[in-house]
Amino acid sequence: MEAVGRVKRIAGPVAHATGLKANMYDLVLVGEEGLMSEVIGISGNKHIIQVYEDTSGVKPGEPVKETGGPLMAQLGPGILTTIYDGIQRPLPLLAERSGDFVSRGIFVDGIDHKKKWEFMPTVKKGDVVKPGQTIGTVQEQLLIKHKIMVPPRHKGGTVKEIHSGNFNVEETVCILEDGSKLVMLQKWPVRVPRPVVKKLPPTIPLRSGQRVIDGFFPLAKGGTAAIPGGFGTGKTVMQQTLSKFAEVDVVIFVGCGERGNEMADLLHEFPELIDPKTGRPLMERSIVYANTSNMPVAAREASVYTGMTTAEYYRDMGYDTMMTADSTSRWAEAMRELASRLEEMPGEEGYPAYLSARLADFYERSGRAEILGGGEGSISIIGAVSPPGGDFTEPVTQGTLRIVKVFWGLDTKLTQRRHFPSINWLESYSLYDKDLEPWFTENVHPDWNKNKRRAMAILQENAELEEIVMLVGSDALPEEQQLTLEVARMIINYWLAQSAFHPVDCTCSFKKQFDLLAATLKYRDYAFDALQRGVSVEQITSVPSKDALAKVKLEEDYEPVLQKALDQMESEFKVLR
């Protein structure tokens, strides 16, 4: 790398340089310390650069070196379990070199280039390989077999030599007839989506284990969801719960501009979370990108792209991946700060006019897809949004909701009532409902969708009745409406409320979700039938079996307990007069 430019002007994370030949989004090194930076604008002979590190002390006249390419993610065995900063530098290695605070100008490879991995070939001499095809595997973690693939931009060819044994990521494991050598390391520009054969329709649900999500507002595999919520509404706990129980193979968590203490808590807690699939640490199939609010804003802007490229890499192996970004509001704030430094025309609330376009570019890299190597893989994106004061009308929330298909709105009032997950069932929605209905009918129960609509109708009627109750009290309502209030209370407390910390109730299978809701609706049918026979509301609501239903969700082997409660309910309603 040769110094070919000079700093002309510096303002915060934005530098202007002259004498460069770099292209748009090329990586350059600014100043005597070689601060990692990226070209974000070119005007004549002037290059505008965003610096990923603190620019204190940098002055005009200092050198700017070209690297000859854009910001690349290093992809290969050893990514899993690692905690990175926003530009894929492992934080443990940065801590070793610079102590508690990250020093400037430190270069650290994203993965260990010296560590040996046992490579097992899956092709043989004479086989013809194509881009994206697996040529061998490495057992990266207990559940994750890392597939070594022909790079997407490689033309492929006939295998001349293929080796097995222990290699580091830079050593040749395969030689093709044209003389090209394949290694276990891939490098990919983070802002460029990795190619697939074609995107597939969202017809398979992503099981989350959360009844309010799976039952009312399901997310499809490869889908996009937003979790907006004010401070303390449970966004981080929700994302941890989804990371543990969602039906995915690999979890990528991007902490984008979160408070330092919250990120520190997460970095301590995440490695201690137990994976219910294996009983081992969840971190074994996770990757964390930690970028706190006191880190340079440019790195915050890059972190979501680095995380997304990693997710695409595992999707290309045929895995189902989930990327959670906490929070996209801080990412948007980084864009706003850079836009103001560049003196761009501000849009609504000072955000750049291209805010929605950037959000769309990010979320549209999700999806279930037919991959180059054959088979399917998926990336599901769950983006947390932190609207100031819980105001869902602000630009980032609104821009996100125009793009994503699922909205899980966290409600401060539900949080104050200690109802978790505090997802508001009247404001939230899923646009995957119609696409997923055939799957639930075929794979869970023919009545799944009918019961869901019945329960939602009860909750909507309950919301209208609660306004009347606040004015005149429940005793003034007709008996049918008093009964509706009681059934709605059962759905809310027995079915929707779920403890993230209970060993059994923290997750719930599709079948158990259906059975619990069906039992509550059966109580509703018995209750209204009894009301028609002249039984009082007080008698109906005081049957012991109603309370027995509340305990079923806490039972691991729930079916005998549920059947006993249903038999008890039937006999109790038969004798009511």
End-to-end CA distance of the chain: 90
CA distance 15 to 24: 14
90 DSSP 8-state letter: B
Q: Rounded to an integer, what distance in angstroms lies between the CA atom of residue 88 and that of residue 82?
A: 10
**String of DSSP letters for 44-76:** TTEEEEEESS--TT--TT-EEEEEEEE-EEEES
Q: What are phi and psi of 328, to 5 degrees?
A: -70, -20
Over the range 534-559, which residues count as b (16 or more CB within 10 Å of their CB) and which as e? ebebeebbebebbebbeebbeeeebe
- Distance from C-alpha of 153 to C-alpha of 418, rounded to nearest angstrom: 52
Residue whose tokens read 């501009």? 257
Q: What secondary structure letter does DSSP report for 491?
A: I
Q: Is the peptide bond before 208 cis (omega within 30 degrees of 0)?
A: no
Query: Following DSSP, what letter does each residue of 408-470 receive, concatenated?
Result: --B-HHHHHTT-SS-B-TTT-EETTHHHHHHHHHHHT-TTHHHHHHHHHHHHHHHHHHHHHHH
Angle between helices 510-532 and 558-575 (to 10 degrees): 0
| Cα four-point dihedral sign 203, 204, 208, 211 | positive
Q: What type of residue sits at position 126?
A: G
Render the burial of 366-403: b for 16+ CB within 10 Å, e for the rest: bbbbebbbeebbbbbbbbbbbbeebebebbbbbbbbeb
Per-residue pLDDT tens, the chain, 577 aa: give them: 455 799 999 988 999 999 999 999 999 999 999 999 999 999 989 999 999 988 999 999 999 999 989 999 999 999 998 999 888 999 888 888 887 777 888 888 999 999 999 999 999 999 999 999 999 999 998 889 999 999 999 999 999 999 999 999 999 999 999 999 999 999 999 999 999 999 999 999 999 999 999 999 999 999 999 998 877 787 878 887 888 889 999 999 998 877 777 777 777 777 777 777 778 888 889 999 988 777 777 788 788 999 999 999 999 999 999 999 888 888 898 889 888 888 888 888 899 999 999 999 999 999 999 999 999 999 999 998 888 877 888 999 999 999 999 999 988 889 888 898 999 999 999 999 999 999 999 999 999 999 999 999 999 999 999 888 888 888 888 999 999 999 999 999 999 999 888 889 989 999 999 999 999 999 999 999 999 999 999 999 999 999 899 999 999 999 999 999 999 999 999 988 7
Is the separation of the CB atoms in 215 and 430 below 8 Å? no
Q: What is the DSSP string of 247-299?
A: S-SEEEEEEEEE-HHHHHHHHHHGGGPBPTTTSSBGGGGEEEEEEETTS-HHH
Whether the pTM exceeds 0.85: the reply is: yes
The answer to whether the CB of 242 falls within 8 A of the CB of 322 is yes
Nearest to residue 239, comparing CAs of 270, 280, 268?
270
Asked if 273 and 283 touch (Cβ cutoff 8 Å), the reply is yes
As a whole number of angstroms, the distance between CA 478 and CA 475 comes to 8
Omega before 421 within 30 of 0, i.e. cis? yes
With b for 16 or more beta-carbon neighbours within 10 A and e for fewer, the 65-75 pattern comes to bbbeebbbbbb
CB distance 36 to 19 below 8 Å: no
Domains of the chain, each with CATH number or no CATH: 3-70 (2.40.30.20), 111-186 (2.40.50.100), 209-433 (3.40.50.300), 448-575 (1.10.1140.10)
Query: Residue with structure tokens 């013809």?
Result: 128
